[in-house]
Amino acid sequence: MSDHAGPMICVRDLHKTYRHGGQDVHALRGVDLDVPPGQLLLLTGRSGAGKTTLLSLVAGLRRADQGQITVADHDVTAASERELVELRRRTVGVIYQDFALLPLLTAEENVGLPLRITRAAAQERDATVAALLDRVGLSAHARQRPDELSGGQQQRVAIARALAIRPHVLLADEPTAQLDSETGAQVMALLRTLVVEQGTTAVVATHDPAMQQFADAVVHLEDGRLTDPVRAAVG
């Protein structure tokens, strides 16, 4: 995946404003960002800094007020809703802060859901799910539902589900926020390994500075603006 020419993610002059309590809240104010292929970028900043908004715009879950976003040569800002759904089905994996697992489905059923949506053959789907659960260390928990799993296990199921489509880009919104420090470090180490071994491009939003050790580069968001240049973290 890392032979992509140019940035895997390119953001230019991105603006997003929300109306809240009768006032305008400027979530993003002219953000520019390039993420090279095969890198893990850490997006830091306190709650309310604009991290979730930036990730949701890159994923096409929300629309920008101004600016341009390109992901794996797809123009996200100009795409139709149908094209954005297809982008998330085949190119961009999203890991949500609250895991967003379906409570009535087992771990293996949650992981296999994206493959059912894309109508992958049953044999291929089952093999992929088994391999992913093994990859995240949850083979023994395949038949358990989310409420039977720990927070760290649920997050690993969510990671496996996001990886089911073999995405070029992985976006993770505070993936360690609900985990203790040790489990959070294990989750970040897993994401780091996936980037190194599979060439996935990952952007991880976090407010925990301890997670910088796992990143190729770090940027900081404050009041909707990037305040730090990208800087090397590992490697």
Which ranges of the chain would DSSP assign to H, the alpha helix?
Answer: 51-58, 81-90, 107-117, 122-135, 151-163, 181-198
Distance CA 113, CA 60 (A): 20
Q: Using DSSP, state whether 62 is helix, strand or coil.
A: coil
Distance CA 192, CA 197 (A): 9
Res 14: pLDDT: 96
H or E element in which residue 177 lies: none
Which CATH class, in words, describes the domain spanning 1-91+167-235? alpha beta
* DSSP code of residue 212: G
Q: How far is CA 182 from CA 43, 160, 225, in A?
A: 20, 19, 31
Res 86: pLDDT: 92
pLDDT tens string for the chain (235 positions)? 455 668 999 999 999 998 877 888 889 999 999 999 999 999 998 888 899 999 999 999 999 999 999 999 999 999 999 999 999 988 999 998 888 999 999 999 999 999 998 888 999 999 999 999 998 889 999 999 999 999 889 988 999 999 898 899 999 998 888 888 888 888 898 889 888 888 899 999 998 888 899 999 999 999 899 986 666 566 5
Distance CA 35, CA 219 (A): 11
* DSSP code of residue 73: T
Distance CA 86, CA 91 (A): 8
Res 62: pLDDT: 94
Distance CA 204, CA 82 (A): 25
Amino acid at 163: L
Query: Rounded to 5 degrees, what angle do the CA atoms 159, 165, 166 make?
Result: 80
pTM of the shown model: 0.89
Mind listing the pLDDT tens digit for each residue in 215-235?
Answer: 999 999 998 999 866 665 665
Which residues of the chain does CATH 3.40.50.300 include?
Answer: 1-91+167-235
Alpha carbon 120 to its chain centroid, in Å, reads 22
Tokens of 197: 């071994």
Res 59: pLDDT: 95
